[in-house]
Amino acid sequence: MTWSKQFLWRFWPIFDILYIIMAWIVIAVVGAAAGFMVSDLVGIPFPIAAAIVIIVVGLLHFFGRRALEAFWVIGTIGLYAMYLVLWAYVLYVKGGESLANLSAGLSQGTIGDAFWDGIRYTMYNLVVVIPALAFVDRFRSRMDSVIAAIASIILVYGAATVIWICFMAYYPRVIDMTVPWYEILRELGVEWLLAIYLFWIFYTLIETALGMIYGIVRRVDAQLRLYGRGLTRTTEAILAGLSLLIAIVTAQVGLVALVAKGYGTMAYGFLLFYFLPLLVIGTIRLRNPEWRKEFWAKV
């Protein structure tokens, strides 16, 4: 909360509302998806599968930061290891079709459409940056921050580029696929790779929900500390579990689907009340720490 006040002034509640709504949608979607995956793979009822996911998230919050960090590190390494194998296999089998479609210049829409779709996608995905801010105290210098930023860009957009190349082998059919990788692997008939994919995607779904919930928990804790209180490990675990429970339940009754209709529109909210203020005011304050120092000290 203090962080957003430092570049949004009195408009910080707008940012918080945007973040909570977006986090709610993300938590609901990935939480429900994780529950359905457990239900489908193991053959247990969805409520029990959802309860397992909620318990895992609650326990990780209870055991604290070290447990959360270990869970995220293992998940990131495992996910990218899985994708390296997946990309290599698909490109080995379907690389010719992919290159043929790329060479043919197949496309949909205009360059302008692609540009604005990219802007919107980037803006509403900025929500995942918020939970990561709780761990910037690991950085010991500005160079650490620069290296972390470069590594993040390579991991995210490098992966997106390779995935796009793989998907081009199935263009335009891939556009109508609900879960492209799942359908592609089923079509290729590689059950061993499909099993690995499902495991790490399930892990990543929990990881994503965990990150969104952690961001909410930290913001609640920061607000309480302004009044001399704070969350204990037990209350953190309870809050995390309740957040996931509420998100999954509202997803089942259709509320999330209703709000998600404005999902793309929220990108403009993040552009106006997050990206642009942070870029402009943040850059000014980074280059000149003394700029209106007394004003910001009162915020």
- What's the token pair of residue 180? 């492209």
Q: What is the largest CA-CA distance in the chain?
A: 64
Cα separation, 26 vs 18, in Å, equals 12
Contact between 236 and 72 under an 8 Å Cβ cutoff? The reply is no
Considering only 12-16, 31-35, 147-151, 193-197, which range has the smallest mean pLDDT? 31-35
User: Residue 75's domain spans which residues?
Assistant: 2-297
The model carries a pTM of 0.79
Contact between 244 and 213 under an 8 Å Cβ cutoff? The reply is yes
Q: What is the pLDDT of residues 252-274, one digit of tens each?
A: 766 556 555 666 677 788 888 88
DSSP assignment, residue 274?
I
DSSP assignment, residue 109?
S
Cα separation, 285 vs 133, in Å, equals 18
Q: How many domains does the chain have?
A: 1
Any idea how long the chain is? 299
What is the reported pLDDT for 166? 93
- What's the token pair of residue 216? 């909410």
User: CA-based angle 241:243:249, to the nearest 5?
Assistant: 100
What is the reported pLDDT for 262? 63
What is the reported pLDDT for 208? 82
Q: What is the pLDDT of residues 42-89, one digit of tens each?
A: 777 777 777 888 888 888 888 888 888 899 889 999 999 999 999 999
User: CA-based angle 113:116:117, to the nearest 5?
Assistant: 80
Q: What is the pLDDT of residues 76-131, one digit of tens each?
A: 999 999 999 999 999 999 988 998 888 887 666 777 888 887 887 777 777 777 77
- What's the token pair of residue 260? 């998600």
Quote the mean pLDDT of the chain.
82
